[in-house]
Chain A
Amino acid sequence: MKLNLKIWRQAGPNAKGRMVDYQIDGVESDMSFLEMLDLLNEKLIAKGEEPVAFDHDCREGICGMCSLYINGEAHGPDRLTTTCQLHMRRFKDGDTITIEPWRANAFPVIKDLIVDRSALDRIQQAGGYISVNTSGRTVDANTIPIPKKDADNAFDAATCIGCGACVATCKNASAMLFVSAKVAQFAQLPQGRVEAAKRVQDMVAVMDAEGFGSCTNTGACEVECPKGISLSNIAILNKEFILAQTK
């Protein structure tokens, strides 16, 4: 099929960017969205132009490296789908597709469609862990039974891939879904309770300092999240945060 692409091109962090139009032919419906961009880049290189820079790695929807705001939505129109798992059968011959980088001041553009998401790492460094050193002498893994429901909920929260779609899609560029996923994972496990109060306060403080907006519960993050991280996690974060004030 033939497509019209409108892609954000920006040479560097401080350069001025703009949308550039490309026409691409020979796109097959079995291709993934990123393979379509590979094809475009191949053609650009052959013409001596600079290829479009975009982040990607595992191409199976789990590493969280790929991003892209496609036709006004994070990771494109499909639900529970990362850009790398979005396939071209979703589009029709002659479609126009706009492709933009994640937009948030906390995610400055590095080049073209690549943004710097290291702020998410810094939030995790503030408390996204249980303080346990490596030791061959921790207690046996089955010492503390954990109700299946708690373990399952913790798992669901822990499946966040840190792609930043929640921030990209939120009208406030808030990272609450991302932060809450980690807070909620540990809050629901006995091992994580010990540091629960400190964790939530530290992570929220860094989240604010990194320049993310605040949550207004629009719920867009949950809808656009490729892993279906639930808004419940934000409620859990809020509860943990309020409880932490009483400690």
Chain B
Amino acid sequence: MTLLKTSVAKKVAMALSGLFLVLFVLLHLAINLTLIYPGKEAFDAAVEFMATNPFIQIMQPILFLTFLFHIGMGIYLEWTNKSKRSVKYVNNNPGAASSWASRNMIWTGFFVFLFLIIHLFNYFVPFKTQDVPDHYELVIRLFKNPYYTILYVMAFIALGVHLSHGFQSAFQTLGTPREKCNRALDITGKIVAVIVAVGFSAIAIYFYFN
């Protein structure tokens, strides 16, 4: 842990773990999209691949630990940062200078985290522990539940908001030269955020109505 002694090192670790998770989310989205196109067969094949490929098997615990790290460190940083101002402003107008998304990473993150737990119990645990006869069917069935779908869509909107700040923030933390890359990263970050939010939500809504 000495590597993570300073605030900047912690931030770098947050950035790296965050970007790794973005990669996972994008991969996940790609697999989910096969639900709609090409369809069941492709999806089942992808699930099969994920369940058996040795590389994926190695990555799975790493991913799991990264999630834990990102969440744990996020909470830790938020908690310590909060403690740096014991007396609050009577009149504070933070909106004048920064975006809502940037100030509320902990809450968007927290919401995604809650969803993640539900999600794990709904999909991942059955996948691992039970003999699920039809993965496709399991997914589709859940989307027929309106409450679940609403929760699902909200979670991914939260993740989109989280990424709209987090993506470019991660690169800033990694020291990418700002005057050269800032615009590009900002735009890319927003695009990734929209793809994730819209992509996942669209699938859920599609199956809710179909």
Contacts and interface: CB of A to CB of B under 8 A. Distances in A.
Q: Answer whether A and B touch in the complex at a CB cut-off of 8 Å.
A: yes
Interface of A: 6, 8, 19, 69, 71-73, 77, 98, 100, 103-106, 109, 169, 171-174, 201, 204-205, 207-208, 211-220, 223-224, 230-232, 234-242, 245
Interface of B: 3, 6-12, 77, 80-94, 96-99, 102-103, 105, 165, 168-169, 172-179, 182
B91 A214 contact: no
Contacts of B103: 171, 218
A237 B84 CA distance: 21
Contacts of B177: 232, 235-236, 239
Contact of A220 (B98, B105, B172): B98
B89 A214 contact: no
Given A72-B89, A235-B172, A239-B177, 4 more contacts: A105-B85, A169-B97, A201-B6, A217-B173
**List of 6 A-B pairs having minimum Cβ-Cβ separation, nearest first:** A239-B175, A72-B93, A214-B7, A172-B81, A232-B178, A223-B97
A245 B175 CA distance: 13
Contacts of B99: 218-219
The A interface is mostly helix, strand or loop, or mixed, namely mixed
A205 B84 CA distance: 16
Contacts of A201: 6
B178 A100 contact: no
Contacts of A237: 8, 175
B85 A235 contact: no
B173 A238 contact: yes
7 contacts: A103-B89, A106-B84, A204-B6, A216-B77, A218-B99, A238-B174, A241-B12
